[in-house]
Amino acid sequence: MTMLQEELETTENVNPYQTVQTQIETAAAILGLERDIVEILKRPKRVLCVNFSVKMDDGSVRVFEGFRSQHNDAIGPTKGGIRFHPDVNMDEVKALSMWMTFKCGVVNLPYGGGKGGVICDPHTLSKGELERVSRGFMEAIADIVGPEKDIPAPDVYTTPQIMGWMMDTFSRIKGSFSPGVITGKPLIVGGSKGRNEATARGCVFTIAEALKDAGKQLQNATVAIQGFGNAGRIAATLLAAQGCKIVAVSDSKGALYNPQGLDLAQVTQLKDTTGIMNYDARYHLQNPQDILELDVDILIPAALENVITRKNADKIKARIVAEAANGPTTPEADKVLFQKGILVIPDILANAGGVTVSYFEWVQNLMNYYWSEEEVNQKLRDVMVHSYRAVHDLAAEYKTDFRTAAYMISLKRVTEAMKARGWV
């Protein structure tokens, strides 16, 4: 381990930008990519920092800071979410845009990676303030986004309604209805059926394939889910419907664990009302982080980055780790898990269902022709299963972990496109 990696791994806040650069270096070394290609891929092509003013409900004016990173557009326009969160920073947004490039590559979408964020706590904003922040950010980045340039989408603490406001703002600026500028919109203004469940559904498809390879079924498999937001709770519902036992869930308020299985309907109801920690106190985990170390078949990190690190990797007992969140595992933790024989379905594969159905939404917007939910889900399953099998086969061929194999697939695609365009 280098001194830099040692320093990163011994701090609580691992820099995601350095993490993704390490992941690129690892896969590029196996592929034997030229140094100039690696240097291009290790940095975003463009990062925009904006400051925009918003009139608050009390009449005061507040300045918000936001970012939009566009990593690589060799294959097509960039694509990626916008998050509203107090901890948004430029390095995080750059890293997430890079992960999006490789996520699109591993599921063979004609996109590069983009990502955006605004530093704010949406829970402290009224609906009117949230709308003005959303419209203000889109006005600030409008010059660099568009259906053929960069297509944003929802992410942490952003919603279909926020996407609708942003699409409307862009359409007003351009003087024409432009639904293809953004995905994850309400259905009535060009959203796609199946989009809300897509990230979780795609993750479940990959989990089913992993269990099949292990000679097991979803029936009675035990599951722990860290992060009971949109992806986590939908994954829980889909897995429970197929016979899995959801034994643990957590959110920002705490964690629950019942080895016999939680009452998922009650947990979901509490999440929407008084909070999951009003569940039977006998099942409260004293330390919410212990959810990562439970002895379960499937662990789904569905919260934020850097939750599995060198400090706790050796305590992970799950047979399969399916990364519904972006960047939950650090490079050094990856090595430990691989040595332990734990299968990690990496974020750029496991949670690619969201961007896949966003692609479907964009295609439907451009055609002005819309598919049924059954068609969307079947197309999603085809993409996820094919992509899983490609990663599985390459990992077996090179005797490497799934993350490295997924990066290798994506790096080869992007490199081929850059060479075809004469960039290198």
* Residues with a known catalytic role: 115
Q: 56: closest CA among 132, 141, 113?
A: 132
For residues 110 and 423, give the distance between their C-alpha atoms in angstroms, rounded to a whole number: 18
Strand segments, DSSP code E, in 56-148 are 61-70, 78-85, 112-119
Q: 87: closest CA among 289, 329, 354, 304?
A: 304
Q: What is the DSSP string of 142-179?
A: GGG-BTTTEEEEE-TT--HHHHHHHHHHHHHHHTS--G
C-alpha distances in Å from residue 26, one per residue of 135, 174, 181, 366: 40, 43, 34, 37
Q: What are the φ and ψ backbone dihedral angles of 126, each rounded to 5 degrees?
A: -70, 170
Q: 119: closest CA among 64, 69, 47, 60?
A: 64
